Amino acid sequence: MGLLIELQKRIPDGWFLRRLLPAVLFVVVAVVGGRDLGHAHWNDIALARQRMADALRTGGGPTADTFASLVLVAVPVLGAAFTVPYAATAVGSLAAGAWPWWLMPVGRRVTKWRVRRWAEPDVLARRSVRARADGHVLRADRLDARIARAGTGGRPKSPTWCGDCLRRTEENVARQTGGDLADGWTALLFGAAEQPRAALTRTRDAYDAACEGLAWSVAFTVLGAWWWPAAPFGVLLGLASWRSLRHAVQALCRTTEAAFALRGTGQPGEGAQP
């Protein structure tokens, strides 16, 4: 415990809480659950405690075996901690609708499917009123939720909901300020005042954290092939992370539009007051 406290003092909180601790948890679950317990003894707490005690037992002092065991644990932990951000970058690109060329055929199919499912908010509102009048309360609630998710964005143009939000923000910024969000993002960060810059950094950090949560959810779900309790945990983590991602995208879009509006110029970086 003292070692963890000392590490937390020396390692940035974002890296410690979002990457190192989940990596330690994943490696422990993979070793104890996937290797020692498996499906046959998935709930054998005594066996899990024994395996963990055997791994922590040092025999009265540091030895070559103890050092080797620590290295064998530290290597996969650090490997997972450094790998997840790269996986999260890929998840973020997919969530934003920026799919690679070799996935574009799938992206076009998904976009067409979303367009077929899409309906005008007014149409959904009428369906909700009729469903509520007929006593179908759950259906009416589901339609109301679809109206809230759809907002005023119009017909889908991206494979993902997040991609539609980001593209709509680009269009709003171009229409309201004449600025180019893709080219002006870096200049906006450097030229914005302290409060807008901090807000942009927080919202972007929340987006990255949600993407990392989705990457961890995939890892735990796959681990369920060797120890099945990891699969439902991964699914729940994925649902929570996806919800956090949607909230983060909404906050990022609102904050970006507000920051460009505060700048009051179509070219971020001109007339800036740091």
| Residue 182 within a domain | yes
- Separation CA 158–CA 112 (nearest Å): 9
| Residue 150 within a domain | no
- Separation CA 142–CA 134 (nearest Å): 15
pLDDT for 106 equals 92
DSSP per-residue letters across 167-215: HHHHHHHHHHH---HHHHHHHHHHHS-HHHHHHHHHHHHHHHHHHHHHH
Question: Which of residues 149 and 95 earns the better pLDDT score?
Answer: 95
Q: Where does the pLDDT of residue 192 fall: very low under 50, low under 70, confident under 90, or very high at 90 and above?
A: confident
| Residue 145 within a domain | no
Q: Where does the pLDDT of residue 274 fall: very low under 50, low under 70, confident under 90, or very high at 90 and above?
A: very low
Q: How many domains does the chain have?
A: 1
Which residues form the domain of 91? Answer: 2-49+69-118+155-263
Q: Is the pTM of this model over 0.75?
A: yes
- Please answer whether residues 40 and 60 qualify as being in contact, where contact means their C-beta atoms are separated by less than 8 angstroms: no
| Residue 232 within a domain | yes
Lowest mean pLDDT: which of 48-57, 156-165, 231-240, 260-269?
Answer: 260-269
- Kindly state the average pLDDT of the residues 229-252: 93
| Residue 44 within a domain | yes
pLDDT for 259 equals 85
Helix (H) or strand (E) holding 227: none
pLDDT in tens, 114-159: 888 887 777 778 888 888 888 878 888 888 877 776 655 678 888 9
| Residue 59 within a domain | no
pLDDT for 25 equals 85
pLDDT for 3 equals 45
| Residue 135 within a domain | no
- Separation CA 141–CA 143 (nearest Å): 5
pLDDT for 264 equals 59
| Residue 137 within a domain | no
Q: Measured on CA atoms in the order 65, 66, 71, 73, is the torsion positive or negative?
A: positive
